[in-house]
Every structure is written in C-alpha cells, then in structure tokens.
Structure 1
Amino acid sequence: MTFKRQNILVIGFAIAALFSCKEGKQGGSELAEIDQVSYNFHIRPILSDKCFACHGPDANKREADLRLDVEEAAFAALKENPNKFAVVPGKPDESEVFHRIISEDPGELMPPAESNLKLSDNEIAIIKKWIEQGAKYEPHWAFVKAEKAEVPSQSDWGTNQIDKFTFKKMKEMGLEPNPEAESYELIKRASLDLTGLPPSPEMLERFGDFSGQNSYEDLLDGLLEQDAYGEKLAILWMDISRYADSYGYQDDNIRTQWPFRDWVIHAFNNNLPYDQFLTWQIAGDLLPEATKEQILATAFNRNHKYTEEGGVIPEEYRIEYVLDKTNTFSKGILGITMECAQCHDHKYDPFSQKEYYEFFAFFNNTPEKGFEGDVSRSKPAKTPILFVDQGDLDGILDFINYQDTTQLSISVMGELEGEDARSTFILDRGVYDAPSTEVFPSTPESILEFPENLPKNRLGLAQWATSRDNPLTARVFVNLIWQEIFGTGIVKSAGDFGMQGDLPSHPELLDWLAVDFMENGWDIKRLYKQILSSATYKQSAHISKDHLAVDPANIYLARAPRMRLPAENVQDLVLASSGLLVEKVGGPSVKGYQPEGIWEAASSGRGVLATYVQDKGESLYRRGLYNFIKLTVPPPKAIIFDSSNRDRCEISRGRTNTPLQALVMMNDPMVLEASRVLAGKLWEKYSDSDEAINEAFVRILCRPMKSEEKDLLEGYFEDQLARFESHQDQVQATLEVGDYPLEQEDINPQTAALMQVIVSLYNLEETITKI
C-alpha cells in the first residue's frame, strides 16, 4: 500500500469516526443513528465477532475457502459456485452473505446454529446498508500510520488541544463539561497521579488557591521532579515487564532482578525518551560500545519464569522463554495478541504462523538455556549474566541502591554469533520438537514491513518499533498513560489494538497525541504535564443525572473519573499519611506483614523461600512497589486489591470492590499500626482532640473537614475514650500492633481512642479513591 493511499484512508477513518456508536461499543450502533456506515467502526466488529473464526485469516480453520476479512476475497466469485459472490457492492440482494444471514433454512443460515452465534436484527440491517453504500473496506485503523488530525476549532472551553477533541465529543453526545474541581481536589489528584503519594498538609496549604508563584503549573513541575514520580510510573512497567523476585514453577527460588527495577525508576526520573527507553531494554547489549547500564536494561527480556526442576527437557523450556519474550514485546509494546499465532494463523488479525515465528526469531538467538542443571544449587541469576561490582555502583550504575559489599548478578540478554548462531523454524502446532520450515527475522507486513536497511537482530527490531512509520508503538504508550490517568484508555482494550479489541472512543485525539509525542522527542514527562494541564483533567468528579443517563462509564469525559487507587498506592497512602513511610528509592524487595502459613502451604520446601521470613525495621515501611513478589504466592493483600500476579505481561488491571478489601483495611496490621503511630504523634503535637482529629483528617482525606464530619468524628472519639477509660485492660491490647516501637507514654485511653478514629478514616471509601 502506498503512503498516499494510507493517508487517504486515515482521512476516511477520521470521517468515519464521526459516526461511531454512541455507547462506544463495537457494532452497537442503532441503524437510525448511522448516515455513513464505516467498515472499521460498524462492520468489522460484527464480522470479527461472528464470522472471522470460519472466514478470517486462519487458513486451517477457513470454511468454503471464503475470506471476509479482505476485500479481494469477499468480492471474488465463490469457488463452490462461480456464478455467485459473497459481497456485491451496492447490491445486497445479489450478495450471498446477505442471503445467508437472513435465511430461515438452518442448513444455509450463517452463522450456523452450532456456533452459538447469532446476528441481531440491527446488525443485519447495518450490514445491508453497508453493502448498499458500496461495501467499502478499510485497513484496520491501528495498522495505518498515525497522522495528526486537524484540531477542532469550534470550542469556547478548554486550555489546550486535548480539550478541543474531548469537548467536540461531549457536544455530539449532548453533554456539558463539569466545572473545575476545587484546588485541594486537584492537588490530591495530581499528587496521586504523578507520585502515587497523598499531598502533605504543608503542600495543601502552600498551593492553596494556586495563586502567585504557587500555581498549578508549579505544582505539576514540582511533582514531576520528585523521585516518587519514577516509583509511581515504575508500577506500570513492572506489570508490563512481568517483574518478580522469584523464578516461578515448583521450586520458585529467589533471583536478583531488582537492579532492573532500580534502572526503570532511574530512567523515568531522568526522563529518558521513550524510544531510547525501549531500545535499551530490547537491545541495549547490541548498541555500539554498550555500557553496563544499557546491558542492565535488557533484563526486561529475562524477567520470565524459569524452571529449576530436575528431569525437564531443556529445549522445551528454552522455547517457552523465547515465546514469553515474543509475547511480552507484542502485547506490552505493540498492543497486539500475536501469541494467538503460535500454533496456527491468527483467527482474527492478519498475522500468519509464519510471521509469528519470523518475529520469534529476533529473540531466538540468545545463549540462554532452558535448564542450567544442579537442582541442589539455585543461582540468583541465569546465563547470560551481568555482574555488578563496587566500581560500577560508584560509577555508571550509581543509581542501584545496594549496601552490601558482595557482587550482584542479573540475568540479561546476549547474542549468539557466527557458527553458534541459532536457526529458527516454524513449530508445527507450536510444539517445541516439531520444527518445519526455516524462517528468518522479520515483522508482520500488516503492521509495517521490516526495512531492508535495518539489521535483522533485536537492535533492528527496536529501530523498527520506534520508527515514525510504525503505527502502534506511540499509540499504545500514550493510551497506557491515558489509562493510568483516567482509568480507561482511549482504547479500552489497552493490550489489544487488533480486530477483537475495542475501538478508540476519541480516535483523532489518540492519533494527535501519538504523533505529538513522537514529534516532541518521545518525552514522557511532557506528555504527563500536557494531559494534567488540560481542562478535561481538571474537571470536578461530580456525577449528574445527565452523566448517568447518557454516559455512565464516562467514555466522553464530561467529568473527572472516580477510581480506586492501585494496590501499591493504597499501602503508600497509609504509610505516607501516618508518617511511617521510608522514602528510600530502590534496593532489594522487602517482606512485610503477611498471614502465617501461606508460603509454606504452596512451597516445595526447597530453597531460601520455602519459609516466609518477615523483614524488620525500616523495610516494613517501604513503598508498595518494593513488596517481595514470589510468583507462586503473590502478596495476598496486593492481590485482594487487584494487583498483577506478574507471571506474564499485563498492561491493564481490573478494579473491584469486594468485602475482602474492607476486611483488609479494618484488620491489616499495617493499617492498625499506622493509625496507632499517627495517634501518638498527634498527641505529642496537640493537647486538644479537636486539633488532633482535624490534622488526621487533612493528612488522610487531603481536604478540609466539614462541620457535620467534625461533629461525627469528635462524638466517635468521645465514645471510644469512654470505652477505654472504663475498660483499661483493652488499651494496651489495642495499641500493641505492628513492630514500630510503642512508647510507654502512649499507652493510654486517649491514644487508643484517637487510633480508632484514624482507623475509621482509613476505612472511608474516599480515602483510597482518586476523585
């Protein structure tokens, strides 16, 4: 396809987007609402759901040798009946597809009854209208090079270009934007989004009404410069890179990949451009005169599970590791489900099994082994290994937080060369010992043909991925950042930009942001500031009846979202607001409070992780990012709050509201300990319960207390004080929670009563919700 043809199709896509469904769902439009039927927005979703399994890209499962996913095949004469055609543009009555979907004969009806699929009357009507309008096919929107759409001009609302796009959609839906949120709401919101930490009372007071030198822009700039910014964003990247502190599988022993996490935090805080950030992780070892930092970044590829079980077949597991690298790259960086083509041609997307193994070939030439032997001696890193000594820690790797004097070892990438280079074959049905046709490194043509001038190795793959012509990489990343901020991406299915994925709610905005991101040096901090500076972001989260009636899911952003904090940031908020948080950046993972017996019940009984040994001292008060993750037994509290279990690449987390979460907040030793410690500190500062409760409220809720809330909390304090004064035996039992030292002077009814008030504040839904 020529670039001229692509540009025309991009314009057509933008026009078609104007007629996208009002509920933002695939194929969900009512026919009366559609003037011009779009293949991308209206037809492809229907065909993908109901037809492509039998009439799509997978040649092995194709029925009647008929493809409906490509124009040439759909318009061609049917092989079983050369006088008939599946689709005749402009003539539904002569189109066999239309006859089959309206047939009352069970032998002719499509989809067949045994498929358990059925077209609705509205879907049939849309297909008929599409054929009547000429049955125009379009390339899948996500596989067309992104171009900057023209910024809508008719808008009297907003502060930057983002608002022009969102306001246009709001007006189309009959919605009006919310007024701007209160300053204290914006301070808390921005602080949570950029650092994962609540604003301190001092920050709330300093920025107040955003006057003078303490403007909203100053707030954003200050937050972006905090080390906590890199820690917050690193949570997303740990999910994508499937970071864990153990190897997984049965023995599940310890490994030392945490220096990679230190590097990710360092890279984000130093605003390493995203194209370089990717290149170093994909192929840092192949860069000219590669530094140890660039080689360390390639640990991204080696975070997969690794077996240490005796009796395994090494080649079987080596192939598993290469598959994992391939699938992580395709999902986390390109936002596509290429793993579906491991065993056969993809059923929905235009990726053949041959193309999958050509992609696989980029990662198949590393000296990594499937099994390293000697099951009695687990090593903290597997071949290839990067060794880090004190000289590195004092030099180029000074961002690694390591206090020990012993040498560190990290699993990284390497490349086989010359006679040792490994050949790659298509694996029949995806089985490791069934090689068939030899293939060579390449990329799916439907995304972007691999240029002849690039090296056919991981460095060439990185250059292909970060090319201005690549239609996916920038789109996927800006969508991820949008998801981080608004809870849902412009493309809801952030890990699937393919045929089965969700359509973008604001396609022109997505493309505009992607191109703007590339044009401005792949600058991540700039992207964050750009979004957080928009009027769209700064709206109140108040929900009106119109919002609920027209847009309950907030697809069109006429209000700010309300959403639960990520699991790690729930912990961070409790520790930070209580004053317990240890703000040390990086270093080995830590083992906090955990119910007894969980590890032991799931462990094989071998290795240093067979028994759970809780850490002591400041390690108990680190950010949630640093929680030790054992793959076979992920941290239970984090899992209850919907964190990733890290056994594979994940780029979206679910958000639930369950009784278990409430039980955690009411009974977790960390929450109770934080409440006790904060109560003690407040009594050291104040002699009056009113002032103590007020500061506790501001620390935890990050806003002024209302008069009715004040009366309620003070009444609760008096009730609890009376209880403890009349039951002195309960005071010490209540306060003795957690490892933080309990001072003798704090063992009194006043501290115990204030502790109960603070526990109640931590258990408010508002506390752990970004509003």
Structure 2
Amino acid sequence: MIQKKLTRIAAKPFQKWIAALGISAIVFSLATCNSSGEQGGADVGIPDVVDYNFHIRPILSDKCFACHGPDNNTREAGLRLDTEEGAYGALADHPDMFAIVPGKPKESEVYHRLVTDDDTYRMPPVSSNLTLTAREIDLLTKWIEQGAVYKPHWAFAVPTKTELPDGDDWARNEIDHFVLNKMKEVGFKPNAAAESYHLLRRVSLDLTGLPPTAEQIDRFLAEDSPETYEKMVDELLASTAYGERMALHWLDVARYADSYGYQDDDIRTQWPWRDWVIHAFNENMPYDRFVTWQLAGDLLPNATKEQILATAFNRNHKITEEGGVIEEEYRVAYGLDKTNTFAKGILGITMECAQCHDHKYDPFSQKNYYSLFAFFNNTTEKGLEGLVNSGPSKTPRLTITQEDLNGMLDFVNKWDEKEEVSVSIMGELDTLRPTFILDRGVYDSPTERVYPGTPESVLPFDSLKFAQNRLGLAQWTFSKDNPLTARVFVNQIWALFFGRGLVPTIADFGNQGELPSHPELLDWLAVDFQEHGWDIKRLVKQFVMSATYRQSSQITDKHREKDPDNIYYARATRIRLPAEAIRDQVLASSGLLDRTIGGPSVKPYQPEGIWEIASPGRGALAHYVQDHGDDLYRRGMYVFFKVTLPPPSMLIFDSSNRDMCEVTRQRTNTPLQALVMLNDPTVLEAARVFAGELMETGDKASTDELIQAAFKRILCRVATKDEADVLSQFYQEEKTRFDKAPTTAEAFLKVGEAPQSENLPKIEQAALMAVIHAIYNLEETATRI
C-alpha cells in the first residue's frame, strides 16, 4: 500500500521540480560506474623500450597462455611461452626451429605465426576467436629485437622504495609527488582544491561512513587556518564510527553473514567477531597482528579469548545443516573456502583456479593449491554437525561469558545478559591430517600427498623458519620478503578512498590482472606501510591528507576525452555511496540514527512476504520477524544478513552477497535504485521525522529557512538561489495538493513507527516532508563528490 500511495504522490511532482532544478536525481541518474579500460583512452604508441611485464606479458596472458602457459593438462605442442626456457628452447615437433630467438624476430616461429595470412598456420588459431592487433604484433616484434628479456611478474618481486619524483608547491605529501609526475607525463595538471563543504562531507563519509554533524559543519566552515582540515581528520579518525566504516570492507572480505546459507538457512551468531573487528580498527591494531590473530590466534602461545575470537574470521563461510549430505565432502569444501579467502582477500591472487588443474595463466600448480589448503585442513571442524538444529555456532566454538564481557572482551555488545553467546572459531588437531591433491578437485579422489607449503613463485615456504601450521602461514604472510601482502592491502584501502585501485583488478595481482597505473607509488606505499609497523590509521591519514585526495571532482572536456576513468587522478572521483552508507546518511541527517556500537544484527522494515517466498528457511529464520524501537534505526552494517536473501534494499545498491570473499563491490545504475529511494519506509520515515523536528525547533523560522536547514544538513552546503527557489515552489505545490486532499497528507505522515507529534500542522509537515524526501533522492545525496 505504501508503495502504491507514494508512486501516485511523488511521481509527477518529482518530475516537474527535478526538470526545473537542473540537477540529476536518483530517479533519472545515479553516480556513474567506473569501468576499467585502456588508460584514459590516451594515444598509445610503441615505447622506446618494450618491457616484458608492462607490454608483453599482458598480450601473452590474454592470447597465448591458455594453450602455451603453466597448465600442463592443456598445453599444446609441448610449447611454453610463460618461461624463457620454454620460449627459447627447440620446438618439440621441429628441433631445428625455435619459438623465440632473442634479437632475431625473423628467425622466431612466433613472429611468422603472427604475421602469416594462412589461417591454418596463424596463431592464435581461428577457432579460438582471438586475434592480435597490429600494435600488439609490433610490440612483440620490437621486444624480440631488443633481446626478448623475460622478467619475474611485477607483483611477485619484492617492492622497493624509489626516490621521490620532483614535486612543486601543490604537493602536500609523498603521494602527490608520484601522482603529479604521472600527470605531467600525459599532459594533465591537477584540479583546484575542492570547496570546503564538499571536502568536509567527502572526508567524513570516507572516514566514518556518516555525514558530518551540523556542529562539525559550522565549526569547519567558520575556522580558516591551514590546520583546520587536519584537526578534522584526526577527530574523525578518533571517532568510534571510523572502526565501523573500516570494518564494513573487512566484513566483505571475510564473507560475514548472520545465517549459514545453503537450503536450510538458519541463524548463526558470529556477530561478536564483528564487534572485535570494529574494536580492532578503532584501537588501530597493526595490520600484521590483525590478520595473524584471525588466521591463527588459537595457535599463539597462551592464546587469550580475544585472540581465539579473532579466528572466527575463518569460520564465516557457508555451512550446511541439510540431512543426507556427505560429511567429508563439506569438511573439504569448508577448507577450500578458507584457502580461497586467504588467497584472494590477503594475497590478491586467484588460487582457486588451481583447485581442479594447474592454473592456466599464473605459475600456481595444483600441488601449490593443495599445499596451501593443507594449512586449513587440520582443523577440528566437522562437515556436518547433527541433523536437528545444531545451534547458532559450530564445533569448535567459543562461549562468551558475563565475566568475559566485564574483562578482556568488554568491547562485545551483548544485549541480553540472560543468554549465552557462542561463536564458531578455529581449533587444531593434535595430529597431522594427511592432505592430498584431489583429482579434478573432487573430495574423494585423492592422488599425491602434499604438505603445508606456499607458491614458490610468490615466496617459498621455509619449513625451518616457519611452523607448518596456520601460525607459520601468518608469519610467512608478513615476511619482509613477501611481495604481495602489503601491496594488496594498500591497494584495497586506496580503492576505498580514490574510487579505483592503483591496480584496478583488486582481487587479481596475477597475469590476468591489470597493471598498476602508478607502480612506483604502489611500491613506495607498500614499503612505507611496513616500515611504519603496518599502521592502518597512519596509512589512511596519508591518503586523505594528500593534495590528490583534496582535489575538486569537477570534470573537464579533456578529462572526459582523455581519462574518463580518472586513472591519472587529475581530479577527485565521484563515487556512489555504499549501500549501507546511503541508509546511514538518511538516518543520521534526520536524527533517527541509533549510534550504538556492535551487538546482534537487527531486522528493520522489509517488503512483506519476500523472506518466505524467495528464501524459505527453518528454525529462527523460517519467518521474518521485524524489530521495533531503536533497532529500526541501527547502521546498515548491523542489518541482519541472510545469505540466501541479503537485505533487498541494500542488494539493489550493490552490497556484497557475502557468500564468498569479495574485496571490492561493483557499482550499477538501475531503475530499482530509484524505486527504493522513493518508496523505502526508512527514507520516508526519516523525511517525516526530520520535517517534524525542524518545525518544532524552528517554530519561528520561515518555510524557506526550514528548507535551507534541511538542505544543509543533508548535503553540507547552502542551497543556491535557483535550488532554493525550486524547492520552495515544490513545497507550495505540495502544500496546495495536500490542502485539497488532507487524507492523503495524513496517510503520508503515517509511514514508519517513530512517534508522530499531534501538535504540528499536518498539511505543512507533509509538504516539508515531501521536500526533504526529494532532497534525499538527489544524485548528490547518494554520491561522495
């Protein structure tokens, strides 16, 4: 009923005032997606020196490695082109011929196979539907002429700090030296600094996921000194909301959810681990300790309950409770999930490709994969733990007592003191469980036995230096010689603040991943991060204090033509807010937001019946039981996440599915997003409560002043005269409409459970509510500018 009423109420007025206002609204256009492609569309010629990593490997990986790469099972003609030994050696079928002869393209069979007109001879074969461009052929030819020098994959070489490029007065820290140098190479110059109000809103949303408060806005805009911005950054970093914002990314990496998944999708209680993640970020736990505790906290000497709780990270995968399944099949599946999450989320590599066969593009064999799997194959976890409601946690589990809450685990927000809370955690067997390579990845097809180890191409595992268990794996992960760990995390966090990664393929640093746009900067940041104790808050502050971050997002014709994806950071990137932040902004600006940190997840408004129809579950989740009171107004990260049916309004705004590790989210534009913002009871209720609060606290203020106050609190700036005039006109039109149909106004004001004051004039409140609702639907509202 609400949706039908609001469609009638909102559609025509919205179209009219949006057209007059001249600014995009969610109804018509959301923040643009950033797709990756050729760097900025800039003219690309043949470089003087052709580099294997940056020019040749991408061509071979895309066009050749499927048949002539690392996978022994699919290799054609016995030819490997991913190693110099294979490429330089004599061809198996023609011992007097060679694929590549360094310095001599005309004697190289690869060259002749690329330039021939004979379809039966040309490579790649016609059947592959792959072809090389003239530029790619020229690059390969010139590379062979220059000696066909192979190099280790750039991401598998230990990063080093290069000397800072020259900077100028624009640069505020080291980041800007690298960015400015790259801009100059391609003929760009930086944008001017963002307006103060845009910058304040940007940094507040980025650091806390919330808009600045009215007091922060007034204070920031009133102060005029070089230190003002840094003081605000420090204030935001010190707020508890910072930990929530950073934790949101890690929940995606860790595939956190409030249910088990699979068909019989019942409730589980991993939320104390979520409380720990928030706590860890707020306490600025160094990244090496943060990950080590999650991988192997239970294996630390005299492990504390906090360290053991951290290992719940490994147990966030889907778990079956269905009768008739084979216990061993699912025990293996859980280990594979842990392996894939570690590889993707922490190392940034696609190891899962080697579960069934040698990796086709990267130097990871099946043996490498199952050697890594062996670290996670020794847990006491079971594949199936009983067929009758085995509870909200699984063996091994940690029970949190009231004594824990009063002591070491005081950061866990346990709301109901009468009930125990238990969490699925890690535990190790006393004896080593044998691990085997599984033929085609099938759980009951063991072949060769393997032992805990890591891909040699990344960093060999030294069993004399590291124990062959998860703790040893964690130590290997943070070895100074590990080329991936620091690079990958720095890149993930960079993407959160700049809209894209320095390596755009955030989950793939391998051969099929994109090359870094600023390799020297990425390596400098990775080394600097390690040198300063893996300090996350320091890293984040580096990012937001840079002149690169503080630029205006104004886009010019040159930007649009030469660098539409903002690869060179000659402007700030406009980013559509994460799903949770869209909800949080509405609740925060309206005054409804409950800022309680942590605790069990909550169930706010949701379309009736969708839970039961789309995802029939059992037990506690057989039916959707909506919460009430303050629970309706918790932050988006606390909304109950059912694996088989994620929160619909958030899923529409591209939240993670949480059924597997995700290190980045896509951004889409769909009409459903407009419908959510127009009809979601949370948005409508927030507009109603906000309108009532403005009228009660500003009873002597004019309507135009109330509209301006709402606009400022939502968008952190004063509306221009044209904007204010259109909003004022819209208010008058809505007031006239409600005057003629007072029952429509009354229905409009009944949305949501928050108390409605009976002392306010209904017609005026409904009209002001409509205006605030319209502001919530602006593209600018849903966009970090």
Give a deviation string over 1:174-212, Cα, whole Å, max 9, x none. Answer: 011001111111111110000000012211110115425
Report SS of the residue matched to 1:272. Answer: coil
* Cα displacement (A) at 1:685: 1.4
32-41 or 571-580, which moves further after superposition? Answer: 32-41
Is 1:274 matched with 2:287? yes
Quick one: structure 1 residues 691 and 26, their matched pair in 2 at CA, closer, same or farther if it must change by over 3 Å? closer
1:728 is aligned to 742
2:564 is aligned to 552
Is 1:526 matched with 2:538? yes
Match of 1:323 among 328, 333, 336: 336
Match of 1:109 among 122, 136, 154: 122
* Cα displacement (A) at 1:747: 5.4
Q: How does 1:553-632 map to 2 (within 5 A)?
A: 553-632=565-644
Is 1:714 matched with 2:725? no
Q: Distance in 2 between matches of 1:570 and 1:381?
A: 31
2:449 is aligned to 438
1:10 is aligned to none
1:660 is aligned to 672
Contact conserved, 2:41 with 2:563, CA < 8 A, in 1? no
Contact conserved, 1:589 with 1:628, CA < 8 A, in 2? yes
Among the aligned pairs, what percent are the same residue?
A: 63
Contact conserved, 2:41 with 2:561, CA < 8 A, in 1? no
* Cα displacement (A) at 1:417: 1.2
Quick one: structure 1 residues 494 and 438, their matched pair in 2 at CA, closer, same or farther if it must change by over 3 Å? same
2:155 is aligned to 142
Q: Distance in 1 between matches of 2:617 and 2:564?
A: 50
* Cα displacement (A) at 1:216: 0.6
Q: Distance in 2 between matches of 1:516 and 1:311?
A: 52
Quick one: structure 1 residues 325 and 265, their matched pair in 2 at CA, closer, same or farther if it must change by over 3 Å? same
Report SS of the residue matched to 1:608. Answer: helix
Contact conserved, 2:261 with 2:642, CA < 8 A, in 1? yes
Q: How does 1:242-253 map to 2 (within 5 A)?
A: 242-253=255-266
Q: Distance in 2 between matches of 1:663 and 1:713?
A: 21
* Cα displacement (A) at 1:145: 0.3
1:128 is aligned to 141
Letter in structure 2 aligned against 1:693: I
Q: Distance in 1 between matches of 2:676 and 2:728?
A: 25
1:508 is aligned to 520
Contact conserved, 1:540 with 1:559, CA < 8 A, in 2? yes
Q: Distance in 1 between matches of 2:220 and 2:41?
A: 45
Give a deviation string over 1:336-374, Cα, whole Å, max 9, x none. Answer: 00000001100000000001000000000001000012x
Contact conserved, 1:89 with 1:134, CA < 8 A, in 2? yes
* Cα displacement (A) at 1:690: 1.6
Quick one: structure 1 residues 136 and 605, their matched pair in 2 at CA, closer, same or farther if it must change by over 3 Å? closer
Contact conserved, 2:294 with 2:313, CA < 8 A, in 1? yes
Q: Distance in 2 between matches of 1:668 and 1:214?
A: 41
Q: Distance in 2 between matches of 1:466 and 1:211?
A: 43
Match of 1:693 among 707, 716, 719: 707
Contact conserved, 1:698 with 1:705, CA < 8 A, in 2? yes
* Cα displacement (A) at 1:121: 1.5
Report SS of the residue matched to 2:780. Answer: coil
Q: Distance in 2 between matches of 1:116 and 1:24?
A: 20
Q: Distance in 2 between matches of 1:132 and 1:693?
A: 69
300-309 or 404-413, which moves further after superposition? Answer: 404-413
Q: How does 1:669-708 map to 2 (within 5 A)?
A: 669-687=681-699, 688-708=702-722
Match of 1:754 among 765, 768, 773: 768
1:286 is aligned to 299
Contact conserved, 2:566 with 2:573, CA < 8 A, in 1? yes
* Cα displacement (A) at 1:403: 2.1
Contact conserved, 1:427 with 1:434, CA < 8 A, in 2? yes
Contact conserved, 1:143 with 1:472, CA < 8 A, in 2? yes
1:340 is aligned to 353
Report SS of the residue matched to 2:594. Answer: coil
Contact conserved, 2:40 with 2:562, CA < 8 A, in 1? no
Quick one: structure 1 residues 280 and 468, their matched pair in 2 at CA, closer, same or farther if it must change by over 3 Å? same
* Cα displacement (A) at 1:62: 0.4
Contact conserved, 1:183 with 1:209, CA < 8 A, in 2? no
1:5 is aligned to none
Q: Distance in 1 between matches of 2:537 and 2:658?
A: 26
* Cα displacement (A) at 1:120: 1.3
Mark the runs of 5 or more structure 1 residues left unpaired by the alignment.
1-22
* Cα displacement (A) at 1:378: 3.3
Quick one: structure 1 residues 667 and 604, their matched pair in 2 at CA, closer, same or farther if it must change by over 3 Å? closer
Match of 1:385 among 397, 403, 408: 397
Match of 1:226 among 239, 260, 274: 239
Contact conserved, 1:344 with 1:352, CA < 8 A, in 2? yes
Could you say which structure has the greater relative contact order, defined with CA pairs below 8 angstroms and 6 or more residues apart?
Answer: 2
Contact conserved, 1:330 with 1:336, CA < 8 A, in 2? yes
Contact conserved, 1:731 with 1:747, CA < 8 A, in 2? no
Quick one: structure 1 residues 210 and 81, their matched pair in 2 at CA, closer, same or farther if it must change by over 3 Å? farther
Contact conserved, 1:330 with 1:338, CA < 8 A, in 2? yes
Match of 2:315 among 292, 302, 310: 302
* Cα displacement (A) at 1:603: 3.5
Contact conserved, 1:31 with 1:126, CA < 8 A, in 2? no
Q: Distance in 1 between matches of 2:303 and 2:732?
A: 65
Q: Distance in 1 between matches of 2:42 and 2:107?
A: 25
Letter in structure 1 aligned against 2:633: Y
Q: Distance in 2 between matches of 1:30 and 1:73?
A: 34
Contact conserved, 2:41 with 2:562, CA < 8 A, in 1? no
Report SS of the residue matched to 2:135. Answer: helix
Contact conserved, 1:24 with 1:505, CA < 8 A, in 2? no
Q: Distance in 1 between matches of 2:120 and 2:550?
A: 57
Report SS of the residue matched to 1:410. Answer: strand
Contact conserved, 2:309 with 2:398, CA < 8 A, in 1? yes
1:14 is aligned to none
TM-score, structure 2 normalization: 0.94
* Cα displacement (A) at 1:213: 9.0
1:640 is aligned to 652
Q: Distance in 1 between matches of 2:332 and 2:223?
A: 56
Contact conserved, 1:27 with 1:45, CA < 8 A, in 2? no
Report SS of the residue matched to 2:593. Answer: coil
Contact conserved, 1:679 with 1:751, CA < 8 A, in 2? yes
Letter in structure 2 aligned against 1:324: D
* Cα displacement (A) at 1:606: 2.2
Letter in structure 2 aligned against 1:537: Y
* Cα displacement (A) at 1:726: 2.2
Give a deviation string over 1:585-604, Cα, whole Å, max 9, x none. Answer: 00000111111111111344
Match of 2:407 among 381, 385, 395: 395
Q: Distance in 1 between matches of 2:82 and 2:206?
A: 41
Q: Distance in 1 between matches of 2:732 and 2:441?
A: 68
Mark the runs of 5 or more structure 2 residues left unpaired by the alignment.
1-35
Letter in structure 1 aligned against 2:762: N
Quick one: structure 1 residues 615 and 443, their matched pair in 2 at CA, closer, same or farther if it must change by over 3 Å? same
Q: Distance in 2 between matches of 1:213 and 1:766?
A: 27
Is 1:429 matched with 2:440? yes
* Cα displacement (A) at 1:214: 6.3
Give a deviation string over 1:218-250, Cα, whole Å, max 9, x none. Answer: 000000000000000111000000000000000
Report SS of the residue matched to 2:347. Answer: coil
Report SS of the residue matched to 1:745. Answer: coil
2:427 is aligned to 414
* Cα displacement (A) at 1:571: 0.3
Quick one: structure 1 residues 180 and 104, their matched pair in 2 at CA, closer, same or farther if it must change by over 3 Å? same
2:179 is aligned to 166
Q: Distance in 1 between matches of 2:623 and 2:456?
A: 50
Letter in structure 1 aligned against 2:127: E
